[in-house]
Structure 1
């Protein structure tokens, strides 16, 4: 486990150097912190990581702890700058989420989550904040759609 952590940190830092050189150091390549998933239904909190593969394409993943469930999810995000607003980007994406109920013989749910939001990297500080709308399409245990879902992330960039 320790070797995996060292490998992850090495990958993140080396990716950050390459990304900073190609973008003139104006953004970040990886950010890790906390996400709060809230709105209609359960509220979840847990670790969140976002990694850019280039200036537009990123993957965002979370492990969320709800009252009686655990959710693991991720999505591809396309990011674009907002002209005249340094550090502010818009993004849109899509990805799966699996939610495991923690009570005995509880169900497992599979969701498909589209996402649109704003990502703000604070200039001069290693802090990134994001707010998004993330409606949920439940695909198992009976289909359902929940429009009132949101995410708030606070992350340390490196």
Structure 2
């Protein structure tokens, strides 16, 4: 798993270090927080970071955990403030996700020779579009988001799960 995380973290760090321009369309530059992914299937939760690169462009990275599953993902999003509001914006984006599922010894199977085998681990690759709203509390360093974030699995029998949503609660650093 360390081999998978390292490229994502390296890429995010390079992009973060190269582009330190203030953002004109979102009310903060960087925020850290908790992401919660809900819907059909397991509920996932874990840390996330969002960085606004300038103009309307932002990146979000998260590591989410659930029962026997770990999901690592990054997203690009186009962000636009909603005129006439203070701190409310909409966004649309997309990004890759890698899921590691550990079926464990309780989810084993019988092989062709009728020997019991412990469960296995599998890696799944997905693309996740997102459409959502974000609100930055004007008088506090807090932000939150809600989005529709369907799951399009590209491996192990491709399937599309439209009933997935994401919530996020963030502390604004700058």
C-alpha separation in 2, matches of 1:62 and 1:136: 15
C-alpha separation in 2, matches of 1:102 and 1:96: 20
1:74 Cα deviation from its structure 2 partner: 1.0
Residues 64-84 of structure 1: CA distance to partner in whole angstroms, max 9, x if unpaired? 001111000011000001011
Q: Does 1:117 align with 2:132?
A: yes
1:31 Cα deviation from its structure 2 partner: 0.6
1:49 Cα deviation from its structure 2 partner: 0.6
Residues 117-137 of structure 1: CA distance to partner in whole angstroms, max 9, x if unpaired? 001110010001000000011
Equivalent residue for 2:123?
A: 108
User: How many residue pairs are counted as aligned between the two chains?
Assistant: 142
1:44 Cα deviation from its structure 2 partner: 0.3
C-alpha separation in 2, matches of 1:63 and 1:97: 10
Aligned residues: CA RMSD: 1.8
Local SS of the residue matching 1:107: strand
Pairing of 1:2-151 with structure 2 (within 5 A): 15=20, 19=22, 23=24, 27-104=27-104, 105-151=120-166
1:107 Cα deviation from its structure 2 partner: 1.3
C-alpha separation in 2, matches of 1:145 and 1:103: 21
Equivalent residue for 2:172?
A: 157
- TM-score, with normalisation over the residues of structure 2? 0.77
- TM-score, with normalisation over the residues of structure 1? 0.84
Local SS of the residue matching 1:53: strand
1:114 Cα deviation from its structure 2 partner: 0.4
Q: Which runs of 5+ in 2 are unaligned?
A: 1-12, 105-119
Local SS of the residue matching 1:98: strand
C-alpha separation in 1, matches of 2:29 and 2:135: 13
C-alpha separation in 1, matches of 2:161 and 2:103: 23
Residues 18-73 of structure 1: CA distance to partner in whole angstroms, max 9, x if unpaired? 52xx75xx821001010000001111000011000003100011100011110000
Local SS of the residue matching 1:84: coil
Q: Which runs of 5+ in 1 are unaligned?
A: 1-7
